[in-house]
Amino acid sequence: MDWHNKTLLLIGGTGSFGSAFIKCLTGKYQPGALRIFSRDEHKQTKLLNTYAGVGDGNNVSGFIGDIRDKDRLMMAMDDVDIVIHAAALKQVQSCEYNPFETIKTNILGSMNIIECALAHNVDKVLAISTDKAVAPLNLYGASKMCMERLFVHANNYRGANRSTKFCCTRYGNVADSRGTIVPVWREILAKRGTISITNPKATRFWIKMGDANQFVLDVVEAMDLYDGGEIFVPRMASVNIMTVYHAITDGLTTFNVTGDRIGDKVHETLILPEEIKHTIETNLGYVIYPEEPHWKYDIPEGDQPAYRDGYRSDNNVQFLNKEEIKETLH
């Protein structure tokens, strides 16, 4: 794919993923133009200053806006070729406490993105999902599950006159991203405080930010080979929560077990056993193709995944040790 003549709109571009993604994208692919859409003026201005601000012949520009505002999205999406949707309310406990706001942003906002993309006949729209969308136990996960369903079946709406493809990526915890245990624990460690651990037996999927960024870029290119409606899942390592604790603290502070919070799981799942039935494994990773598409669809070719009971953080063949976890946090 020739990125040089593509205009890309990154929605939620000032978050942990978005900020790192822009650096990866502009450093390696250099798209014709990049538009950053976010609602935080301070963060957006700071980010744009890294790219010499708006204008001055620079191909990076900023749109202040909220995905709840369909009119603003419609304006931002004019003449766009590729949309990356990374905007969401993401903190599990905050989403539980603010359910109306979570639904307005994560579900209704995603609907706005779909409708605007269809109106502008955008080539590709890729949404960033999470392992918490799989068999969700909390509102954040449930809202992302709805977002996935919206994006998969949005391909129904393109009809014969539009070429827009809608797909999703789904992956687990991104090492050192904002709001995760790594920065929280490091802050506690700096104060020599006591670290809270919900369940010492817990396992999680684990991916470096750079690898997550590259996976998304690879998926954007791979979408040319598919008919739309796929959920792309990378191969990921797993970690035990206590191994993460030792990697971060080196025993310099103590911990206490608080018990599971609302919506917590002991282990995370990236692909359900029921989804494995319509999943293939490729060089890119795993591709969950739509089970009953109502648009023209050719089932993609690939190998059958080995994880017949689902792809979970506890049955993963690859676990990181303490030193390997440390390497991901540099």
Catalytic residues: 132
**Residues 290, 296, 169, 218: is their CA dihedral positive or negative?**
positive
State how far the Cα of 137 lies from the Cα of 176, in Å rounded to an integer. Answer: 24
Structure-block tokens of residue 159: 């009809």
CB contact set of 215 (below 8 Å; sequence gap of 6+): 169, 171, 207, 232, 234, 284, 285
Among 60, 15, 54, 7, which Cα is nearest to 38's? 15
Q: What is the DSSP letter of 294?
A: S
Q: Following DSSP, what letter does each residue of 34-93 receive, concatenated? A: EEEEES-HHHHHHHHHHTT-S-TT-SEEEEE--TT-HHHHHHHTTT-SEEEE------HH
